[in-house]
Structure 1
Amino acid sequence: MQARLLLEDGTLFTGQSIGADGASIGEVVFNTGITGYQEVLSDPSYCGQIVTMTFPMIGNYGINRDDFESVRPYIHGFVVRRHEDIPSNWRAQYTLGHLLKEYGIVGISEIDTRMLTRILRQHGTMKGILTTGNERIEELRERMSVTPLLRDQVARTSTKQLFSSPGNGERVVLIDYGAKSGILRELTERGCDVVVVPQDTTAEEIRRLHPDGIQLSNGPGDPKDVPHAVETIRQLLGEYPIFGICLGHQLFALACGADTEKLKFGHRGGNHPVKELESGRCYITSQNHGYTVKEDSVRGTELEVTHINNNDKTIEGLKHKKYPAFTVQYHPEAAPGPFDNSYLFDRFLEMIREHKKNNLERPRQAQLAQALRGELQYAQK
């Protein structure tokens, strides 16, 4: 069956359908990963987007039950150059096409994805409509023009109720703005007692859970579309150690008085070089975001830039100068990799333990100081 992708600038691509029948509208973006298409499909951060894979052959190792990053895909369309409908891998349980049809996702293959990527790099991400129907181009343009892009992606992808993953270690409250399973996996592997809460959970409700630390998850969309999350982070800052990832990084920056802006075509893929300013070391990172923290807006706040992107020099990491809190724009929990940055979860737990130690020592120091003042008063008498 034929499928078509029409961009809002009028560019039309015609290819073969590889997914569900129908039409879907979304923001057209591209991902430069060579592997990991199953993780891309199931990453909640792609909610509302039509994802183009720049690697020319997709579907060759199939789909399995273990590599999902969420309970279901949230993307609005999938674009590939060549679709392999007969996978060759011992872990494969069904095909990419089967997954797309099961969840009603429109897909297209046999188009020039390199040309599409060059258009997006030159002109920036744009709205598109992906269809398997026979509508006239004028009809597709009209439908696309009157259909707004999603603005409630965080609410769509976040858990609707609290749940826990028990452990014997530190209690971490994971605020789910559209969290990937990898974050929960990294915390539980370290023995954490993780409580996952919905994106609209209030600061007071989080305090009742008596956390040792707060994890701010990744998620889709514009951070300014979830002002309640910014206010919650602002109220929790200083009370608990905080570690933010991707959207959590942007929300943390807004809570601390910085600002965010949209990138021309975003960072999406598993090969983005990031420099840690303190050590000078370069890490290869996995990224998926369309917004960034504005560099000029960090000045005058209590934030310090810790990492920068080696390609475009955008901010990739922040830490608070006064409170135990740090964030990164990239994904240290990345699957299928790279795994260079999983150490950040260890750093987060070290911060939690140091914070707990300091909280225990402060009352003891206050008691000693009070006793000393009493002895001095007695001696003076």
Structure 2
Amino acid sequence: MKAYLCLADGRIFEGKSIGLVGETAGEVVFNTSMTGYQEILTDPSYAGQIIVLTYPLIGNYGVNREDEESPRSQARGLVIKELCNQPSNFRSEQNLHRYLVSQNIVGIKDVDTRALTKHLRQAGTMLGIISTESTPEELVEKARRLEPVTGPHLVKGVTTKESYTLPGGEYPVVVVDYGAKGNIIKALQHLNCQVTVVPATVTAEEILARKPWGVVLSNGPGDPQDVDYTLPMIRGVLDAGIPVMGICLGHQLLGLALGGTTYKLKFGHRGGNHPVKDLITNRVHITSQNHGYALAKESLDGKEIEITHINLHDQTVEGLRHKTKPAFSVQFHPEACPGPQDTAELFGRFLEMVKEYGRERSVSHA
């Protein structure tokens, strides 16, 4: 069945329908990962977005429940070049087309994703519609009338509704869920942390009542300034001296809590091949990323904050640490999945801070 992707600036791409037959709208963004389409679709950071995958063949290893980053697909749509309907992998449970149908995701294939990506790089990410139901001219007009994909509802739509604690683990850690990927929680559990996941609207008092040894500010969708209601909580945790680790949106929110500002990137950083320089070790890491905003370097107070990582493509801030408090954050994803594992050791660094806090707390209560 014929389908169209129509952008708000009037650009039209014709293809064939995959997944659910119908219509969907969202912010059109591209991802440069070579693998991991299922993890990408189920990453809550993609809430409200139509994903363009630049790798030309998608679906060749199928889909399985084990690789999901959340219980359902979070993206609004999928755009690809070529679809493989006969996957070959011993872990495959179904093909991608059937998975998209089961997740109510409208998609389109046989699109010139190279041309589309070049257009988005030049014009910037923009709103668009995938549809099998209207003419291209009608869809362009619809796309021009779409509301921006922003607002507090994005995070509130993907955060946990109730706090919960996972079994096992020795070191009590709270994860503030702004749309946390499942592999962040798995990485903490692998380090023997007792993980409690709390909603994005949690207060500092509620966190402190749980007596955690560390707090993780998770990834999530949208503009960090739309989540400013969480900043008093972050400042309260910092003032209490509890170790803090921020990831992606959590990195931006930590920066905002420390007095910084953010801005929207032209087309964002999405994919598993972004070079980042660690300014402390002078090493370059290949990282997995997914964000459309960044911290403004000049807004960060050099007396309190040290910039620890920069993006080698555009020099944006990729990491920071507080000079006197046990807090640091990174813009990229140390848990990757999909993507390289170069920076997984950052969880180990956080664990050492957690253990040190626990030792000091034990001494003070002796």
Q: CA offset at residue 88 of structure 1?
A: 1.1
Pairwise mapping of residues 60-99 of structure 1 onto structure 2 (< 5 A)? 60-99=60-99
* Distance apart, 1:335 and its partner CA: 1.0
SS at match of 1:305: strand
Distance in 1 of aligned mates of 2:176 and 2:71: 17
> Which residues in structure 2 correspond to 1:10-159 (within 5 Å)?
10-133=10-133, 135-150=134-149, 151=151, 152-159=153-160
Q: Report what 1:323 is aligned to.
A: 325
CA deviation vs aligned residue, 1:258-317 (integer Å, no higher than 9, x gap):
011011111111011111101101111100000000011113562110001111111100
Runs of 4+ in 1 over 2 A off after TM superposition: 136-139, 141-147, 355-364
Give secondary structure in 1 for the equivalent of 2:30.
strand
Note if contact 1:238-1:324 (Cα within 8 Å) is conserved in structure 2: no
C-alpha separation between the residues in 1 aligned to 2:348 and 2:16?
46
Which residue identity lines up with residue 82 of structure 1 in the other structure?
E
Instruction: Give the Cα–Cα distance (whole angstroms) in 1 for the partners of residues 230 and 147 of structure 2.
Output: 23
What is the distance in 1 between the residues matched to 2:88 and 2:363? 58
Gap change, CA 1:10 and 1:80, over 3 Å in 2? same
Q: How does 1:151-170 map to 2 (within 5 A)?
A: 151=151, 152-170=153-171
The residue matched to 1:264 in structure 2 has which SS?
A: strand
CA displacement at 1:360 relative to structure 2: 4.7
C-alpha change, 1:149 and 1:321, in structure 2 (3 Å) is same
Contact 1:166-1:192 at 8 Å conserved across structures: no
Separation in structure 1 between the aligned mates of residue 115 and residue 80 of structure 2, nearest angstrom: 12
Partner of 2:292: 290
Secondary structure at the counterpart of residue 346 of structure 1: helix
Q: In structure 2, what residue type is equivalent to 1:226?
A: V
**Deviation (angstroms), 1:119:** 0.3
Give distance in 2, aligned partners of 1:44 and 1:359: 35
- Offset of 1:362 from its aligned partner? 6.0
| Number of the residue aligned with 2:270 | 268
- Letter aligned with residue 328 of structure 1: V
Relative distance call for 1:211 and 1:114 in structure 2 (3 A) is: same
Contact 2:4 2:136 in 1 (8 A): no
Taking the TM superposition and a 5 Å limit, the aligned residue runs for 1:240-255 are 240-255=242-257
Whole-angstrom CA distance in 2 between matches of 1:210 and 1:362: 14
2:209 is matched with 208
Superposition pairs for residues 294-373 of structure 1, below 5 Å?
Answer: 294-299=296-301, 302-361=304-363
2:186 aligns to what?
A: 185
The alpha-carbon deviation at position 204 of structure 1 amounts to 1.1
Structure 1 residue 205, shift from structure 2 partner: 1.1
TM-score, length of structure 1 as denominator length: 0.92
Partner of 1:173: 174
Aligned residues: 363
Counterparts in 2 of 1:159 and 1:291: CA distance versus 1, 3 Å: same
In the alignment, the residues of structure 2 paired with residue 153 and residue 59 of structure 1 have an alpha-carbon distance, to the nearest angstrom, of 28
How has the CA–CA distance of structure 1 residues 182 and 363 changed in structure 2, closer, same or farther, with 3 Å as cutoff? closer
- CA RMSD, Structure 1 to Structure 2 (Å): 1.4
Question: Does the Cα contact within 8 Å between 2:321 and 2:328 map onto a contact in 1?
Answer: yes
- Segment of structure 1 superposing worse, 109-118 or 334-343: 334-343
Distance (Å, rounded) in 2 between the aligned partners of 1:207 and 1:278: 31
- Measure the CA separation in 2 of the matches of 1:212 and 1:43: 27
How much does 1:201 deviate? 1.1
Q: Secondary structure at the match of 2:239?
A: coil
Q: In 2, Cα distance between the equivalents of 1:231 and 1:299?
A: 18
Which sections of structure 2, spanning at least 5 residues, go unmatched? none
Deviations 1:220-242 (A, max 9, x none): 10000111112211121132100
* Residues in 2 aligned to 1:37 and 1:195: alpha-carbon distance in whole angstroms: 28
State how far apart, in whole Å, the 2-side matches of 1:7 and 1:27 are: 9
Q: Is the 8 A contact 1:106 1:130 kept in 2?
A: yes
Aligned position for 1:233: 234
SS of alignment partner, residue 195 of structure 1 = strand
Q: Which amino acid aligns with 2:104?
A: G
Is contact 2:9-2:144 (8 Å) kept? no
- Give the CA deviation at 1:202: 1.2
Q: Distance in 1 between matches of 2:204 and 2:171?
A: 19
8 Å CA contact retained: 1:324, 1:355: no
Code of the residue aligned with 1:143 in structure 2: it is: K
Q: Is the 8 A contact 1:257 1:301 kept in 2?
A: no
2:259 equivalent to 1:257:
yes
Determine what percentage of the aligned residue pairs are the same residue: 52
Segments of structure 1 that go 5 or more residues without pairing to the other structure are 365-381
Q: Secondary structure at the match of 2:233?
A: helix
Structure 2: how far apart are the matches of 1:343 and 1:272?
Answer: 17
Give the distance between the partners of 2:310 and 2:244, measured in 1 at CA.
20
SS at match of 1:354: helix
Give 1:91 shift.
Answer: 0.9
Please tell me whether Structure 1 or Structure 2 has the larger radius of gyration of its CA atoms: 1
> Cα distance 1:28–1:184, how it changes in 2: closer, same or farther (>3 A)?
same
Residues in 2 aligned to 1:104 and 1:129: alpha-carbon distance in whole angstroms? 15
Secondary structure at the counterpart of residue 66 of structure 1: helix
For residue 195 of structure 1, report the CA deviation from its aligned partner: 0.3
Deviation at 1:209, TM superposition (A): 1.1
Look up the equivalent residue of 1:22 and give its one-letter code: G
Residue identity opposite 2:230 in structure 1: A
